[in-house]
Chains A and B, each alone.
Chain A
Amino acid sequence: QQIQEDLNKQLLENLVSFLSRSHSNFQEKTTEWTCRMKFREIPTAALVLGVNVTDHDLTFRGLSDVLQDNITPYVALLEAKDCPGTKNLMQKLMGQLMNCDIDVDSLEDEDCVQVSRNKIRCSMSSLISWYESVKKKTDSETPSKKRNSSSRHWQSPPIVVIFKDMESFTTKVLQEFIVISSQHIHELPLVLIFGIATSPMIIHRLLPHSVSSLLCIELFQSLSCKEHLSTIIDKLLLTSQFPFKLGEKVLQVLINIFLYHDFSVQNFIKGFQLCIVEHFYSQPLSVLCCQVEDIKKRAYSLSHDQCENIRRLPSFRRHVEKQESGKQVALLTNDSFLKEETVKLLEDLHVYHENYVSILRCLHVFTSSLPKYPLGKQIRELHCACLENRVWETEEYESSLQLARMLNKTDLVNMLQQCVEILMSSSGREFDKTAEKLKEFLTQFQNLEAEASQEQDVSVSSQKELQKKTDLYHLQKTLLELKESRRPKKLTKFEMLRFEVVDYIDSLVRKYLVPAEDRTLHEIVYFNTANVLRGHLNAAPRTALHTALNNPHWYLKNQALKCDGGGISNKAPDICIVYKLHLECGRLINLVDWLEAFSTVVMAAEEPNADAASSDQVDDTIHARFIRAVSELELLGFIKPSKQKTDHVARLTWGGC
């Protein structure tokens, strides 16, 4: 758990720093703009942030920090849920500005601040005169505050008000606030920032012309969340920094949730966190999932049981089977030998990761420029494909290689250069040779270029010759000659080289991009139980209810409950019977008929052991059971009492679910 928390922290820090970095650019721009904008109507910045509302918190916090640090002003963050009315909005705003004041100049004139705070308290207590006091606050107090603070500051700093979620504000409040503040804009330099989730159209829809003409709006676009995702994947998954890795299916689930559900980076991170928790909780060998330096120490401190666990891993079994018999025995019986072997294997695994990442990047350079992107445009798709199975056996890979063989030279040279860069930057020592090789290719290409230019000269001269000749027959003849002469000679050299390069890359792929599942001891660092994750993150309560009601056998392992699909088993729990009967009805259900059907079914079940003599007693009991089942269905939301007809209930679901 210790490790896990460390990991978590490390991961989160990394993410936060990354996020703030990615936003800083954007924030800089906004800050600059706020500095510039002064003494105009009401300068307004509209930030188009995308639908992932949950991620915006960080952005705004960063923004207000940046604004506060960089000379500028008092910043107030307003959220729609705090401001149902103009009064609340003003109060919130004042409160936040006051607090800002205290933050910024904590020592100076403490008493002044105290007084103003007291005033707020007063106005709160006296509900009756709130409007006057709010007006007073806006009218007299803020300007005065502005004046006295501006004397201290080098210029009158604008007051920035950030509306976090523009869409959820009520129009009236927004309009009122804008109108009010536009009246005081001369004494009180306000700057508004709107956070917009949808599109800038919303401003015009929320604000009528008369109000929006008071604003001077400038639009800012933030990065799309997909770019965030790819950077996060880049930073988190495709590094050798974190020992913990995601399996293919899990990654697929996380990406699917992101792309098809919410576009929220935060949820992605949450999912990732959950993966870590699950992994370290469920897998007894996850102790070994750590940095390279620690492996040895931890491996040698393993207990006997843990060694047994290692032996039980399927990938380790495969490994053992490949060894010769003497070693097999040693591996299976001798703990210390096993530990040594484990350390070796784990170190191998680390090396594999390092190589994997850089080769993956190289391959991505190649495939991402191909037309139609047979292996995907983003590196994450490539990553998934590589994790899933042997990538060179897939059709897509085949077709992309074919496409690669038809690349033109400049592209190829560019790509090779990029690959060399990647390989140079990677730490793995194995790549010196490969990089060398690629460099060699490059120089060859450069040579080729020189040659080609020479040939070009030749061709130019021949073209000149062509121009001289005016005879049609001769022209044709020379053209044919030229064609024949050029084709085989010139293209072969280039093509040969090209084939060579592509084949070389291919061989690299085959060597290094082996899917992780083929590696020994991959279970220690890979988390691969996708269904657990999906159950916890993306649950389907309705499906669970449906299965529980439809075939209780799934949960209650009893032989009597097993029955074929559509029929109603009379041994099922009451609520299941009632549910099944209700499925057969239309929109309205008559309670009496329902009750009778229920009692028929239940009586059939009790017939063998119940006497007819006590039928009245049984009847009452059945009635009571029916009532309970019906009210349970009502609680679950399947039916509701209806007023359309006496003693009827309305069904709220339709069809078979």
Chain B
Amino acid sequence: LAKKAKEQKMGNLVEEYFEAHSSSKVLTSDRTLQKLRKRRLTQQTLRDLLKNAPVAYAAEIRDLNQQHESLFSKWMLQLHLGFNIVLYGLGSKRDLLEKFRTSLLQDSVHLVVNGYFPSITVRSILNSITEEVLDHIGTFRSPLDQLEFITKRFKEDSSLELYVLIHNLDSQMLRGERSQQILAQLSSLPSIYLIASIDHINAPLMWDQAKLSLYNWLWYETTTFNPYVEETSYENSLLVQQTGSLALSSLMHVLHSLTLNARGIFRLLAQHQLEKKDNPSYPGLSFQDFYQQCREAFLVNSDLTLRAQLTEFRDHKLIRTKRGADGVEYLLIPVDDSTLTDFLEKEDEDV
């Protein structure tokens, strides 16, 4: 009977999948964040706001963590028996691992890898092993060579022991096939003990049979409900102002350092773009037209000066040029319309 129920459930799951993906048309409202008339929060203000927000259920969470902490000595034993430990569950496991480190690994050689750090690579992990643990100065041609060197050293010298703690083994940078392969081989060395944490729901997909057997995982569920503070600080969310794309503050900043004429040029272009914002096929302002308008406003005196100015804009990523079907160069400002409106309003205030 249980089997039948299970089958039924499976069938439902499958149906649900196709239901979710059947219609290509998705019905959602067209509202956007722009219309919310609300300034976007910056990373800093976000952090401040969250600091003030009370943490719910602090007592329960503490209980939960204490429960996990009681397992520490067991972990040590199992690490020494050749298993590696992987932690999963909801909530940041960073504090837990830190606590493990401070309470048990204080006197031994250990390496902490912050997997969520966006510029971490396997090579940097290997480098820190060779340079700091093994005191070897020198470069290697490939990570594989480096790995071989490490393996050899650890095999020769049985007194060497290394604890490796990896926060977020499944992060963007480390989830690649090759990095996982190298880490797996590293962890299979008997005198290297690995504790890692994973968060992504599909994290186990990155390991195949061979890697799993190299890793020799023991799974521990450690649901902590701790907020992912460090981890998400690097995760660019839609709602947070992104430093990569152009934002109002940076726009203002750049333009304030320009000459009056240059600002005028940019204003002209922005105004033109706003006028045409309802036309979806608007290709941008062609260079010739723009030159004409700038001349009329006494902003430039020659083709060359305008071109130099535009090059400066382009270097600051304030404008983008696009060649149209007829071979004419079109100029566009790659900024949201609303930001542009805000910008013009501010500009008016200043003047």
Contact = CB atoms under 8 A, between A and B. Distances in A.
B50 A647 contact: no
Contact of B199 (A267, A586, A589, A635): A635
B28 A645 contact: yes
Interface string A619-640: 0110111111011101111100
B297 interface: no
Nearest to A561: B57
Contact of A266 (B26, B35, B77, B213): B213
A654 B77 contact: no
Interface stretch (B126-134, B236-244, B323-331): B236-244
B221 A535 contact: yes
B16 A654 contact: yes
Interface string B251-276: 00000000000000000000000000
A573 B29 contact: no
Interface residues of B, number: 71
- The contact size tier of chain A is 35 or more
A536 B222 CA distance: 12
Contact of B60 (A267, A557, A586, A593): A557
Contact of B228 (A264, A267, A632, A651): A632
B12 A552 contact: no
B90 A549 contact: yes
Residue among A82, A571, A590 with most chain B CB within 10 A: A590
A645 B220 CA distance: 39
Interface stretch (B96-104, B203-211, B302-310): B203-211
A641 B89 contact: no
Contacts of A536: 218-220
B16 A637 contact: no
Interface in A523-544: 535-539, 541-542, 544
A589 B28 contact: yes
Given A544-B89, A544-B223, A641-B238, A628 B50 contact: yes
Contacts of B159: none
A646 interface: yes
A373 B204 CA distance: 38
Contacts of A590: 28-29, 31
Nearest to A125: B141
Contacts of B231: 635
B57 A573 contact: yes
B118 interface: no
Contacts of B232: 628, 631-632, 634-635
A454 interface: no
Contacts of A654: 16-17, 19-21
A21 B21 CA distance: 54
A270 interface: yes
Contacts of A589: 28
Contacts of B209: 51-54, 262, 264
A133 to B, nearest CB: 15
A297 interface: no
Interface in A600-657: 620-621, 623-628, 630-632, 634-638, 641, 644-649, 651, 653-657
Interface stretch (A175-183, A217-225, A273-281, A476-484): A273-281
A586 B20 contact: yes
Contact of A54 (B36, B181, B213, B239): B213
Given A264-B213, A277-B81, A637-B202, A655 B13 contact: yes
Contact of A621 (B16, B31, B49, B216): B49
Contact of A539 (B60, B88, B144, B225): B88
B1 to A, nearest CB: 18
Contacts of B202: 637
A556 interface: yes
A631 B199 contact: no
A296 B210 CA distance: 45
B100 to A, nearest CB: 17
B136 interface: no
A497 interface: no
B90 A544 contact: yes
Interface in A77-134: 81-82, 124
B181 A81 contact: yes
A168 B204 CA distance: 20
A556 B226 CA distance: 12
Nearest to A5: B81
Contact of B223 (A548, A586, A631): A548
Contacts of B220: 536
B50 A625 contact: yes
A211 to B, nearest CB: 26
B74 interface: yes
A573 B45 CA distance: 21
A174 to B, nearest CB: 19
A558 B53 contact: no
Contacts of A637: 199-203
Interface in A445-465: none
B227 interface: yes
B202 to A, nearest CB: 6
Interface in A242-284: 262, 264, 266-267, 270, 273-274, 277, 281
A387 to B, nearest CB: 22
A544 B88 contact: yes
B74 A281 contact: yes
Given A266-B213, A627-B239, A631-B232, A548 B219 contact: no
B166 interface: no
Nearest to B35: A592
Contacts of B64: 555-556
B108 interface: no
A545 interface: yes
B332 to A, nearest CB: 17
A627 B240 contact: yes
Contacts of A71: none
A588 interface: yes
Interface in A1-21: 1, 8
B150 to A, nearest CB: 15
B32 interface: yes
A298 interface: no
B145 to A, nearest CB: 9
A507 to B, nearest CB: 36
B351 interface: no
B38 interface: yes
A35 interface: no
11 contacts: A545-B89, A548-B89, A548-B223, A558-B60, A621-B49, A623-B41, A628-B50, A632-B227, A654-B17, A654-B19, A655-B13
- The 6 A-B pairs at the shortest CB distance, nearest first, are namely A655-B16, A539-B219, A54-B213, A548-B90, A624-B49, A541-B88
Given A274-B83, A536-B218, A628-B46, 6 more contacts: A54-B210, A82-B144, A264-B209, A634-B235, A655-B13, A655-B19
Interface of A: 1, 8, 51-54, 81-82, 124, 165, 262, 264, 266-267, 270, 273-274, 277, 281, 535-539, 541-542, 544-545, 548-549, 552, 555-558, 561, 571, 573-575, 585-593, 595, 620-621, 623-628, 630-632, 634-638, 641, 644-649, 651, 653-657
